[in-house]
Structure 1
């Protein structure tokens, strides 16, 4: 059975609204939730970007069943890995064991703000693996001292450590990141339903571990309105991660996607209220072998209608299709 999740997309709603959406997702019957961790929105039209970790602390208190997860946090530039470990351990305690720490190598869009530059991808992967190693060491308890190529840790210790540390998920997009995930991750994270990613993950040690995908959708009873909203706020998605990781500003994404047409967006994102179209959009993830798929409803002011529709129609149809 494929579990169906809900995305708290910080780029398109303020913090109080996002907490309300999380409560609604729990009440509607979603199996889990994921939360983006950004400093900027992708496009100005999205209009938000509150601090994900404050949001998650509030959501942990406002909900009682819904599993939580960062999707994803970059532990290399804005945050030192020792600080990420502390935040994740605290959130695992606050949520009483409902938290998973999703990690990725990040995007220039969010990480440039601390003024440390944006090195080549091989260097970023090297930094990322070192950061994950530090986080895992701190999760094991005791004092950690580390003097590596990219990070120093001086006698750090997590004083409030849960009995079971948060499982670590690693976002993948190619062979190199799949190899890292196979070695270091408890679960795989991906935004594209590519079977070759899962095969590579398995080759490097990921066999039997969960794999979580994500799918943007745009529910609206008016399909034309849904297509227009998806184009306005989510056309950045067409760039692919090799491009998305490099652009430094929402205006860069606007320029890079200026020739993307509404029909191009509607060709890859289900828009409207045809349940069958949404089910078929999830199918490639299920067929590839993903065990979980988190949906992103586009439009911060369109979450309540989507949650109501999901409870009545979409979630039952998805469970029937992928039981």
Structure 2
């Protein structure tokens, strides 16, 4: 059963407005939602970054949607504290919450004052964090010493079934690595062959569970407006790893992406005023073998996007894709 979800972008929208948008998205027919756990936006023009865990409690309480969050335990947030947050949401809203774990970005993590580790160290830290968190969510008392240190931690309030811990990956190498510990995978939607490469690497390494993709898109009734929105709000997305992992400030992201042109932004964001283009793009991702697609309209104004996609994109996908259901049936 394919899921079309709504991505709630804390980096771009105040948390109060974002809560209204996710409620609107449910009413429009989106079947699920997700967000990312950021301390800083990617760009000074985005200008927001609400606390994802506080917001998720309100979002889960005021909708019936399942929710996920992409987070990076190990530096800014200790894995025992992240496990406690996951367990609390899982206990309050059984079966409706998952967390995807990644190795993080310096723009969010440098605030601790600790050195930003190299990629290999971050990957070791992630694997250790995932193991510690899984044990805590199972009710164990955990002590650990390695890239992270845990002293006699226990999570006391837990759901009967631990929420899934998903791997967040953008490359086949990371996807294969996550297969050792993850209950599923989420990635950023690239072109068709790249999407298949990530999925194949995960499955070939023994990866289990559902696979999802986050799709960055820009829509407006006028093509020029859709392009302008993407250039203003998501120019940083043309940079890619390792720059996106290592840059420390929104101002530096803006400096490095100041000269982004139309060709570059169209490689990073699906841009079109034609809703049929967006239907085809989502269908391409699902045809590649993905179980869910979370739509992220990169503009700060979300209401028109939610209405348009609820009225024309979601019903079109429901009609044309085998196994896709309307949100009311999910």
For the aligned pair, the TM-score class normalised by the smaller chain equals: over 0.9
Q: Distance in 1 between matches of 2:303 and 2:320?
A: 24
Aligned to 1:118: 116
Distance 1:99 1:126 in 2: 25
Trace 1:88-107 onto structure 2 (pairs within 5 A): 88-107=86-105
CA–CA separation in structure 2 for the residues paired with 1:282 and 1:239: 23
Aligned partners of 2:298 and 2:169: how far apart in 1? 23
1:291 is matched with: 291
RMSD (Å) for aligned C-alpha atoms: 1.5
**Among residues 166, 169, 172, which one is paired with 2:166 in the alignment?**
169
Deviates more, 1:237-246 or 1:28-37: 237-246
SS in 2 for 1:136: helix
- The alpha carbon displacement at 1:174 in A equals 2.9
Q: Is the 8 A contact 1:217 1:271 kept in 2?
A: yes
Matched residue, 2:239: 239
Q: Offset at 1:5?
A: 0.8
Q: C-alpha separation between the residues in 1 aligned to 2:222 and 2:318?
A: 25
Q: Does 1:156 align with 2:157?
A: no
1:32 aligned partner: 32
Distance 1:173 1:216 in 2: 14
Aligned residue in 1 for 2:226: 226
Runs of 5+ unmatched residues, structure 2 = 323-330
Secondary structure in 2 aligned to 1:241?
Answer: coil
Please tell me whether residue 132 in structure 1 is matched to residue 130 in structure 2: yes
TM-score, normalization by structure 2: 0.92
CA distance in 2, matches of 1:268, 1:172: 16
Matches within 5 A, 1:1-323: 1-63=1-63, 65-70=64-69, 72-146=70-144, 148-193=145-190, 194-207=195-208, 209-300=209-300, 302-323=301-322
Cα displacement (A) at 1:291: 1.0
Shift in Å, 1:263: 4.4
Runs of 5+ in structure 1 lacking a partner?
none
* Alignment partners' CA distance in 2, 1:192 and 1:4: 13
Deviating above 4 A after TM superposition, structure 1's stretches of 4 or more consecutive aligned residues are none
Cα 1:267/1:142, change in 2 over 3 Å = closer
CA contact (8 A) 1:279 1:321 kept: no
- The aligned counterpart of 2:325 is none
Q: Is the 8 A contact 1:60 1:94 kept in 2?
A: no
Deviation track 1:190-229 (CA, whole Å, cap 9, x = no partner) reads 103421111111122115x210101111121122112111
Deviation for aligned residue 1:268: 4.5
Q: TM-score, normalised by structure 1?
A: 0.94
Quick one: distance in 1 between partners of 2:180 and 2:170? 15
Q: Quote the Cα distance in structure 2 between the aligned partners of 1:181 and 1:105.
A: 11
**Structure 1 counterpart SS, 2:159:** coil
Return the alpha-carbon distance in structure 2 between the equivalents of residues 268 and 178 of structure 1.
20
